[in-house]
Amino acid sequence: MTGLIHVVGAAVVDSLENPSRLLAARRTAPPQFAGMWEFPGGKVEQGEAPEAALHRELAEELGVTVRLGDELESGAASGWPLNERAAMRVWFAEVSDGEPRPLEDHDQLRWISLGECDEALSLPWIPADLPIVRALLARVTTAA
Ligand SMILES: Nc1nc2c([nH]c(=O)n2[C@H]2C[C@H](O)[C@@H](COP(=O)(O)OP(=O)(O)OP(=O)(O)O)O2)c(=O)[nH]1
């Protein structure tokens, strides 16, 4: 597909080796997404590597440095479809420096339990994120 918007997101977990909690972020804009929860991240800039974009976005949005883990594979090179024009690749990440704060684009951060699937799934996620959250829960549960 030409003109696809490449988005990157982080499944920030408390521990890459033994994940038990996931950091969800509540968006403030645009109006159709305000109040919905998402994976922190954003658009990859021209000429930027996806992983570099993710490090940049997490520094800007949360004020943290992270260690990236595996990618949460979607089966498509471009990642998880968000809409007809955008797709998002998602990596596991663990904070290596700093304490996550909602500096930009979010008004709330929440650590949610990965052991309680209901807690994760009951948040009002951006609808396109729900298959990603389900895949993440399945992956973490299988690995446990
Ligand atoms: N970051 C993020 N964006 C998501 C998720 N799910 C989802 O549909 N999106 C959409 C919302 C936006 O249309 C797009 C990402 O754009 P963004 O606004 O976060 O990107 P950005 O930080 O680079 O912002 P900007 O420079 O375009 O203002 O992807 C998600 O889980 N995380």
64-90 pLDDT, tens digit per residue, is 999 999 999 999 999 999 999 999 999
Extract the tokens encoding 4: 């696809």
Select 5-143's CATH number: 3.90.79.10, 3.30.420.480, 3.30.565.10, 3.10.20.30: 3.90.79.10
Q: How far is CA 41 from the centre of its chain?
A: 6
| Collapsed DSSP state (helix, strand, coil) of residue 131 | helix
* Summary mean pLDDT of the chain: 96
- Ligand 1 in contact with 42 (CB < 6 A)? yes
Rounded to whole angstroms, the Cα distance separating 13 from 17 reads: 9
Closest to 24 (Cα-Cα) out of 98, 96, 90? 90
For the Cβ of 86 lying below 6 angstroms from any atom of ligand 1, the answer is: yes
Helices (H), ranges, 2-128: 50-62, 117-122
Query: Can you tell me which atom of ligand 1 is nearest the CA of 86?
Result: 29
Report field, pTM of the whole predicted structure over 0.90: yes
**113 phi and psi angles, rounded to 5 deg:** -75, 135
Residue 1 banded pLDDT, cuts 50, 70, 90: very low
